[in-house]
Amino acid sequence: MTRAVSLHVTGVVQGVGYRPFVYKVANRLGVTGWVRNASDGVWCFAEGTPEALSAFERALRHEAPPMAVVESVVAEEVDPEGATAFVIVASRAQDGAMTLVSPDIATCEACASELFDPADRRYRYPFINCTNCGPRFTIIDDVPYDRPTTTMRDFPMCRECAAEYADPSDRRFHAQPDACFVCGPRLYLNGVDGASAAWTWRPDVETSPRPHRDRDAERARSDAILQTAGALLRDAGILALKSLGGFQLACDATNEDAVARLRDRKRRWGKPFAVMMPSLQTARAYCTISPEEASLLTSSAAPIVLLRLREEDGGGSRMRVPQPAEDVEPLTAVRRGLSGQAAPSDVPAPLASSVAPGLAELGVMLPYTPLHHLLLSLADIPLVMTSGNLSEEPIATGNAEALERLSAIADAVLLHDRDIRSRYDDSVARVVSSGTELVRRARGFAPFPIKLPFRSDVDILALGPEQKNTVALLTGEYAFVSQHIGDMENAETFAAFERTIELYERLFRVRPRIVAYDLHPEYLSTKHALRLGLPAVGVQHHHAHVAGVAAEHGIEGPFIGVALDGTGYGTDGTIWGGEVLLATLGTFERLAHLSAMPMPGGAAAVRRPARMALGALAAAGLLGHPGAEPLRSRLAPAEEDTLLRMIERRVNSPLTSSMGRLFDAVAALCGVRDDASYEGQAAIELEAIADPASAGSYRFGITPGEPSVIESAPVLEAALDDLARGVPASTVSARFHRAVAAAIVDECARASAAAGTSVVALAGGVLMNRLVMDGAFLGLTNAGLRPITNVRLPVNDGAVSFGQAVVAWARREEV
């Protein structure tokens, strides 16, 4: 007996080989009918026996391709139509319908093998891809996801690619970015003296449609360009190259002069660089890598992973002399083979000391595009790989834009003619005791949605904070949190912010009826929200932090929230940042906070931790302590008198309860850093020197009240006592970190007893500190409480927009 069903599949089911998978399952089971993409997912019509249709539906749910995420399969019995075969039919666009779109995917093993196979027609083709890898979100204009709605529309397929595209048994069946030397994108190299004029990109080379070319001639041209680029890198040059979500800047990570020159030209002083290693085996020579970290490095997302540098015998510089690599997993053999040669058996050169100065960790990634694989195989050295921009600007994405903005930084620019529609930085992640933790969420992770613990009856736009900005769009059962946009401090970043909102609203068919914003009146995102003319919900920064954590875990409250960071505008008009809250998704009460201290010079105290230390000492009455003398002796002539007068007269010395600023103060007191060249530098370096083998801990005081005050004076005095006695700064740092973790546990235990909840949501940039987060997690668990933190979003300000959207939903009846 023949039956028929209509099936609607939702989730990330476009751009991941889902339709070819459905086709193959149908033919395996003897099911007839069709499958197609639509703006709201994938639709199937299937005819067959009841047994075959049941197996077909089960397979759609449980056997999906590795990059697919099936959220639901809804089946409805319909009348048979007498279908005699199973086919893929043309996609259908629907007004107002929404589907999910895959992030970009790192080069798969099959494509990597073909890339270095001389017998393959795509041998050394820099844009090889298939249904399991390659560009996705960065090339899409609209849904459904088909070639005409991507930037690949300008590249008509050659006969061989078109045959693969139409062959259900082929890995490239309906792979939208499919291309080769004949019909696909090509490389260009600008800025090299004496190079062929045919290598130079000009706007007039991007004709539409692109012409087909001779395969052998095009391969020879591409190889010559790549060899020139590789030689430039080996000769200490700086190369700008066009990647998936924007341009990157690369140089030899083992060459001190090259790294220093890149820092100077990019104006990135002090902040660590990430390094792209040729292989996992090479990375092991420089860093200790756990199985979990190796899995993250080689995953389809291929983020930058923060790894601990190997220890150097006898101590010394944080940039360790590399060690011979250990035996590696089977996957590493594939990665190693990407260079077309065996990995070197001798110890590679040490990294330049200025790659990650003063730190015990290094950001490491592996090649994730065919272009990276080819370039690393030719350069044969670890490469600094950083965003293609001047510091604090958005990364360049367009060819003309890159030539204008990056030519003063790079010695040459390696371009291609496939357009980028969406700007994406590299994601940054690390492995912690609770699992994988995102530091920056971008390529490989966004725009995967966050599943909500509720279904929203109104679309909400949340515009995020000033630093590490993201935006969030809440619709139905999903929240779409954008990729990392950056610090909202210039017109270029604000323009990227506006474009991201427009793209997400269009792709995900979101029409906001409420806008959520930060309470800080001077944030660009806040001002933009209030200009939109929509009903607006102001959300306190730290409430957004902890509400976002709770919503990720499906908790509406009440719960205890601990938010520790550098800056957040409080409801009393002061700067918060050391907060213990009792909260629900829609409300919060401030139970306790760090004692207030002045910031002499306001933002200048963030850039100069020595100022913050003086403010903390003045608030604690410890200016005359002998342990403070080294700090005071390092201040500029008359600086102390000027700052103390500012504090006394309350001139440009706002009060803050920020735990981040207390970290700055202790770092300066320990002599770690008096001036910071990037946000959080002093705290990061204070963590880096902490000696885990040292004993002891300091202890914060508590002044009961509503709210209670967590007093920092006892901790500062104990630290100064140690410093005056000559106790090493590494020991002082370790004791301070333990004190912070203990204060979190003590305050949460008190709050739990009073409020009757055991759930503790931990959030804020200070919780990026491994020692604080791990210490707090362990202590809270041992105290019988249930600590939770962000899972699919960063614990820092990158998650604030999501929390704002959730709070606005909970308060939607107020507007």
Whole-model pTM above 0.85? yes
Q: What angle do CA 638, 642, 646 make, to 5 degrees?
A: 170
Asked whether the predicted pLDDT for residue 337 surpasses 60, the reply is no
Q: Compute the average pLDDT of residues 778-799.
A: 97
Please, what is the angle between helix 659-669 and helix 609-620, to 10°? 100
Asked whether the predicted pLDDT for residue 492 surpasses 80, the reply is yes
Instruction: Determine the Cα–Cα distance for residues 718 and 690; give it in Å rounded to an integer.
Output: 16
Asked whether the predicted pLDDT for residue 118 surpasses 80, the reply is yes
Q: Compute the average pLDDT of residues 416-422.
A: 95
Asked whether the predicted pLDDT for residue 334 surpasses 50, the reply is no
Asked whether the predicted pLDDT for residue 90 surpasses 50, the reply is yes
Chain-centre distance for alpha carbon 600: 33
Q: Which residue has the higher pLDDT, 93 or 703?
A: 703
The mean predicted confidence, pLDDT, of the chain is 92
Instruction: Determine the Cα–Cα distance for residues 565 and 572; give it in Å rounded to an integer.
Output: 17
How does residue 39 score in pLDDT terms, banded at 50, 70 and 90? confident
Asked whether the predicted pLDDT for residue 795 surpasses 50, the reply is yes
- pLDDT, tens only, 180-227: 999 999 999 999 887 888 899 998 888 888 999 999 999 999 999 999
Q: Hey, is 200 helix, strand or coil?
A: coil
Q: What pLDDT does 329 receive? A: 40
Asked whether the predicted pLDDT for residue 622 surpasses 90, the reply is yes
Identify whether the C-beta of residue 190 lies closer than 8 Å to the C-beta of residue 415. Answer: yes
How does residue 340 score in pLDDT terms, banded at 50, 70 and 90? very low
Q: Compute the average pLDDT of residues 18-43.
A: 92
- pLDDT, tens only, 506-529: 999 999 999 999 999 999 999 999
Asked whether the predicted pLDDT for residue 346 surpasses 90, the reply is no
DSSP assignment of 747-795, as one string? Answer: HHHHHHHHH---EEEEESGGGGSHHHHHHHHHHHHHTT-EEEE-SSS-S
Asked whether the predicted pLDDT for residue 284 surpasses 80, the reply is yes
Q: What pLDDT does 339 receive? A: 41
Percent of residues, the chain, with pLDDT higher than 90: 83
Q: Compute the average pLDDT of residues 94-122.
A: 88
Tokens at 807, concatenated: 């709070």
Query: Who contacts 58 (Cβ-Cβ below 8 Å, separation ≥6)?
Result: none
Query: Who contacts 89 (Cβ-Cβ below 8 Å, separation ≥6)?
Result: 34, 35, 36
Lowest pLDDT segment from 92-96, 511-515, 804-808: 92-96
Residue 621: beta bridge partners?
none
- pLDDT, tens only, 256-272: 999 999 999 999 988 99
With 0-12 / 13-18 / 19 or more C-beta atoms within 10 angstroms meaning exposed / middle / buried, residue 299 is middle
Asked whether the predicted pLDDT for residue 553 surpasses 50, the reply is yes
Chain-centre distance for alpha carbon 101: 17
Tokens at 599, concatenated: 């910031």
Tokens at 533, concatenated: 């003319």
Q: Compute the average pLDDT of residues 400-418.
A: 96
DSSP β-ladder status, 32-38 and 41-48: antiparallel
DSSP assignment of 552-620, as one string? Answer: HTT--S-EEEEEEEEEEE-TTSSEEEEEEEEE-SS-EEEEEEEPPEE-TTTHHHHH-HHHHHHHHHHHH
